């Protein structure tokens, strides 16, 4: 099946590559031929091991100068050294687009592909989630996830494009966490992200990482396909998802 036809977009995606000096070169051989297989590449966060600018330089070497546009978000590991702005800066200098509650539009095969992204945060899922009650720390934990999801949802809704893609690090649904211990689900994702995605009808794909022991496939309550592209889950340099715009634009 050719993916280069008019109206089709091939989306490559991977997350949790956790680069440091000893990992540089692991992904590059597969990436050199990316232009033959995909129209863009999404990086779903946890690009570094400890969030240092030095590790970000490794990411820049591995994912810079590719034949397709690269759109990234940061993950919790990329915040670990409190240098997330510097990490983001190194990636942007290498030509990557880095989103955080923001969006970008790329034109691929005549299709305007809109991507909204956020790291997101935990909080859990229906029936087993944190609430804004009690100690200030608990309220702050819960509020952070809700507020990030709301800002991300606003960015997604504001996109003027033919196809919308949601890019997060934390998971919007529990299905793609299958394989992880149930006890840590509230630290792996939040239903607020799914609500933000479902609030804008017509999102074609939601991509996330973070859950290394999770499962690849899920769906939001509103029917949006969700894919966990954490490298330990997909076990290759990237997965490619083909979106057909003619199918997506069928009237409601």
- Contacting residues toward Fe ion, per CB under 5 A: 16, 46, 75-76, 210
Helix axes 136-157, 191-198, angle to 10 degrees: 20
* Residue 15 per-residue DSSP state: B
Q: How far is the CB of 151 from Fe ion (least distance, A)?
A: 19
Looking at beta carbons only, is 76 or 220 nearer to Fe ion? 76
Scanning 22-99, the segments in alpha helix (DSSP H) are 28-31, 34-37, 53-63, 84-93
Question: β-pairing, 102-108 with 97-98?
Answer: unpaired
Q: Which is nearer to Fe ion, 74 or 113 (CB)?
A: 74
Rounded-to-integer distance, Cα 146 and Cα 66, Å: 35
Distance CA 41, CA 34 (A): 9
Residue 69 or 75 with smaller CB distance to Fe ion: 75
Q: Which is nearer to Fe ion, 46 or 55 (CB)?
A: 46
Q: Closest Cα partner for 93 from 60, 46, 54, 118?
A: 60
Q: Closest approach of Cβ 47 to Fe ion, in Å?
A: 9
Rounded least distance, CB 56 to Fe ion, Å: 15
Look-up: residue for tokens 């211990």? Answer: 181
Which is nearer to Fe ion, 10 or 169 (by Cβ)?
A: 169
Q: 81: part of which helix (H) or strand (E)?
A: none
* Nearest-approach distance from CB 57 to Fe ion, in angstroms: 19
Q: How far is the CB of 35 from Fe ion (least distance, A)?
A: 27
Q: Nearest residue by C-beta to Fe ion?
A: 46
């Amino acid at each position: 099946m050719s993916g280069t036809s008019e109206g089709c977009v091939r989306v490559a995606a991977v997350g949790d590559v956790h680069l440091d000096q000893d990992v540089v070169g692991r992904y590059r051989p597969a990436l050199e031929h990316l232009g033959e297989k995909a129209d863009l590449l999404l990086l779903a966060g946890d690009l570094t091991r400890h969030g240092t600018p030095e590790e970000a330089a490794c990411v820049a070497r591995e994912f810079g100068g590719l034949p397709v546009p690269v759109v990234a978000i940061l993950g919790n590991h990329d915040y670990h050294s409190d240098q997330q702005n510097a990490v983001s800066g190194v990636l942007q200098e290498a030509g990557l687009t880095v989103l955080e509650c923001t969006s970008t539009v790329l034109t691929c095969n005549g299709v305007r592909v809109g991507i909204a992204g956020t790291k997101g945060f935990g909080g859990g899922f229906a029936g087993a989630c944190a609430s804004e009650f009690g100690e200030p720390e608990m309220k702050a934990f819960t509020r952070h996830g809700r507020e990030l999801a709301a800002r991300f949802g606003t960015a997604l809704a504001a996109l003027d494009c033919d196809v919308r893609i949601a890019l997060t690090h934390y998971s919007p649904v529990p299905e793609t966490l299958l394989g992880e211990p149930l006890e840590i689900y509230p630290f792996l994702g939040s239903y607020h992200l799914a609500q933000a995605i479902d609030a804008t009808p017509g999102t074609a794909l939601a991509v996330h990482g973070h859950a290394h022991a999770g499962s690849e496939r899920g769906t939001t309550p509103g029917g949006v396909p969700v894919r966990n592209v954490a490298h330990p889950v997909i076990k290759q340099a990237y997965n490619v998802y083909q979106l057909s715009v003619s199918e997506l634009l069928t009237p409601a």
